[in-house]
Structure 1
Amino acid sequence: MSDKQTYRVIQWATGTVGKVSLRHFAENPAFELVGVLVTNPEKVGKDAGEIAGLPATGVIATDDVEKIIALDADCVHFAPLVQDIDMVCRLLRSGKNVVSTLGPFYPTEHFRADIDRIEAACRDGGTSFHGCGIHPGFVGDILPLTLTRLMNRIDRIQVYEIADKLRNPSVYIQFMGFGLDPDELSAQPNCMEGAAISFAQSMSLLVEGLGRTIEDLTEKHEVATAKNDIPYPGGVIRAGTVAGQHWEWTAWADGAPLVVYHLYYMMGDDMEPAWNLGDSRHRIVIEGDPPLEATLMASAAPDGRHPFLGITWTALLGCTAVPHVCDAKPGLITHLDLGVVQPRGLVRPPSADPGTR
């Protein structure tokens, strides 16, 4: 892998994550964008630059899967709304490496069947697969594991994701059941109930990286309700309905809680109870000797508040891993296999578009 080498990439899906990736591939000289797969009929036939808010690239978006499969490309950045292991395996067998923002991230027992299929497809295609994201992913596994090198003894590791979804609206507002009556939310199947299985991949990487094994995984869920109506671009969170959710997952080892994940999603602070958690950020707390705390957050916006960059970071974690995944041995590539990623093409003149500065 050299600074002058370019990688031919395909962007699969151009939603909130895919659009960030598309822009990166179009602007970064380390990549040559050769294809774009879209699922929205209104985007078919549009230039990738138009979709990404950039000048024309000459790459026209298509919804024709067979055309994408037939392209000559080094890697597909795979970012649909829902994972499709069958399609991932088709891409791998076609000779294209795949980086997916949907995982799987790490070979836990729950994902063993999918990983076995992916490994087989990698062998057939001589390709590699890497699943990644901000959380689960980076801030819940490889970042805290790296920080543990500063420790003499570890008692417990807590990882917080705090996201103000009023300031940063996304599909998760509806996806997680915000605006429902608390009893209604608890009575119906919740979209987050299976999340522990996904987050457990990051927990396993971290716990096993410390030489231990997860003995048990427990879950807690609490909600906060709106004190007043909370309008947002997609509607209104009515007073008395769910305006905040705290999901807590704990990985136990040696009979004690070793890793705890806290996921706080809120529609502002006008809630009961008032959590008053401050700006959106990721926070890692390592209890032990010496105690350690690290915060990862976006720089302040003009209004002084710190936006939540979970979507942007999820996309860029995949983009910056592409060269290493392409150059890796065939098979599933975890964060541990990647080692220290050395991104390519990041040091370059700023775009003429003020929105990228």
Structure 2
Amino acid sequence: MISTVVWGTGNVGRAAIRAVAAHPGLALTAVLVHSPGKVGLDAGGLGGLDRALGVAATDDVGGVLAGRPQAVVYAGSGDIRPDGALADICRAIRAGAVVVTPSLYALYDQLNAPPELREPVLAAIAEGGGSLFVSGVDPGWGNDVLPLLISGLGSTVEVIRCQEIFDYSTYDQEDSVRNLVGMGLPMDHEPLMLAPTVPTMVWGGQIRLMARALGVELDRIRETVDRCPLETSVTTRTMGEFGAGTQGAVRFEVQGIVGGEPRIVIEHVTRIHPSCAPHWPAPPDGDGAHRVVIEGRPRIEVTIESTDEGENRSAGGNATAAGRLVGAVDWLVDAEPGLYDALDVPLRPAAGKLGRRQR
């Protein structure tokens, strides 16, 4: 069994605890938390399970890493503390651990990551013998392995479009929804996530990764952003009221331009209520979905809906992202120490999991 630590218990961390607990080859040995109120709580409760796992949460990072865990699932935020996340991850790698995480956007395409991010990771790998694999929380497989796999089914391919379509009223992360994405803020306010160059910073690596796999050269990466106000005030279960006239929906694209045309596109359509921007793409059942569209001959469209934590499709997306990361741990442990991306790490069948039930 591979000794595995989950670092962080937010949206991704909860799903990671469940994924590690369900994996037949992994043993959950520690859960690291930041909040003093979570210290001492059992991992089962923190992970949304109805049973104890016998692992008490701790904030003793040094003590946990001194135990030389083989793997760390790092689920700490990289949105508002990228330097802190990088330092944490390098610390775990120097302790010899395989680290999987969604938190360092620029390492989605690690070969083209900026030196100031890539070099500290490579130095930590050389010092400690650990490894790192970064895959997106939106989820990464929807912007790399899935579209690339489906693209191979067509005779001709003109455009690859990856869509995330969600109702954010079900999302349990108010700071990100309001302050990063701008839901509920005045329309003349420019939220950080929509500021020029930021979408490319977050999703450009996935565009470059797909271009590399497809053997095409990008002219450049272009961004488009559109926003719609709420016509009436709405009240959400988890985040309270969002006022009429404030931002209620966002649609943006990160476009890989090839031969002067957008050929590889990552598109996000997010709303705080289904009534906002009804003319934009909508998920089949209202809450959310991930969709890949291959424009060509034939035209291919694949829509994936996932649910977890009840009927929450936002949680379902987090769970599949965590599943991709946790499912890579044993492969990475067997591989040479290094810095890996989605083109390196295979997406494999659920060996040993079929028929296993988790409560």
Q: State the TM-score, normalizing by the size of structure 1.
A: 0.89
User: For the Cα contact (< 8 Å) 2:139–2:318, is it kept in 1?
Assistant: no
Aligned partner of 1:45 in structure 2 is 40
2:141 aligns to what? 138
Matched, 1:19 2:14: yes
Question: Which residue of structure 1 lines up, in the alignment, with residue 54 of structure 2?
Answer: 58
Query: In the alignment, does 2:132 pair up with 1:129?
Result: yes
Residues 1:116 and 2:124 are matched in the alignment: no
Q: Can you give the 5+ residue segments of structure 1 that lack an aligned partner in the other structure? A: 1-5
Q: How does 1:63-212 map to 2 (within 5 A)?
A: 63-82=59-78, 83=82, 84-103=85-104, 104-107=107-110, 109-135=112-138, 137-171=140-174, 172-174=176-178, 175-183=180-188, 185-186=189-190, 190-193=192-195, 194-212=198-216
Match of 2:302 among 273, 282, 294: 294
Pairing partner for 1:260 from 253, 260, 265? 265
**CA contact under 8 A between 1:155 and 1:286: conserved in structure 2?**
yes
Matched residues, percent identical? 27
Within 5 Å, which residues of 2 pair with 1:298-313?
298=306, 307-308=313-314, 309-313=316-320
Q: CA deviation at 1:306?
A: 8.0
Deviating above 6 A after TM superposition, structure 1's stretches of 4 or more consecutive aligned residues are 299-302
Alpha-carbon offset, residue 272 of structure 1: 5.0
Superposition CA RMSD, Å: 2.3
Cα contact 1:10–1:77 (8 A) shared by 2: yes
In structure 2, list runs of 5 or more residues that go unmatched: none
Structure 1 residue 347 displacement after superposition: 2.2
Distance in 1 (alpha carbons) for counterparts of 2:143 and 2:56? 37
Distance change (3 Å), C-alpha of 1:135 and 1:49: closer
Distance 1:272 1:211, change over 3 A: closer
Question: Is the Cα contact below 8 Å between 1:226 and 1:238 reproduced in 2?
Answer: yes
Task: Return the alpha-carbon distance in structure 1 between the equivalents of residues 19 and 50 of structure 2.
Answer: 11
Matched residue of 2:313: which SS?
coil
Among 250, 253, 259, the alignment partner of 1:248 is 253
| 1:34 paired residue number | 29
Q: What is the count of residue pairs matched by the alignment?
A: 342
Any idea what the Cα deviations from partners look like across 1:79-109, whole Å, max 9, x if unmatched?
A: 1012421221121111111111213221254
CA distance in 2 between counterparts of 1:108 and 1:276 reads 33
Equivalent residues of 1:160, 1:283 under 8 A apart: yes
- Indicate conservation of the 8 Å contact 2:234/2:241, yes or no: yes
Cα displacement (A) at 1:222: 0.9
Tell me, yes or no, if the aligned pair for 1:50 and 1:56 is still in contact at 8 Å.
yes
- How many Å separate the matches in 2 of 1:56 and 1:206? 41
Deviation sequence 1:253-282 (CA, Å, 0-9, x none): 122211112101101222256436243111
Alignment partners' CA distance in 2, 1:176 and 1:292: 30
Shift of 1:239: 1.0
Relative to structure 1, the CA distance from residue 198 to residue 191 in structure 2 (aligned partners, 3 Å threshold; closer, same or farther) is closer
CA distance in 2, matches of 1:272, 1:349: 41
Q: Quote the offset at 1:140 in angstroms.
A: 1.0
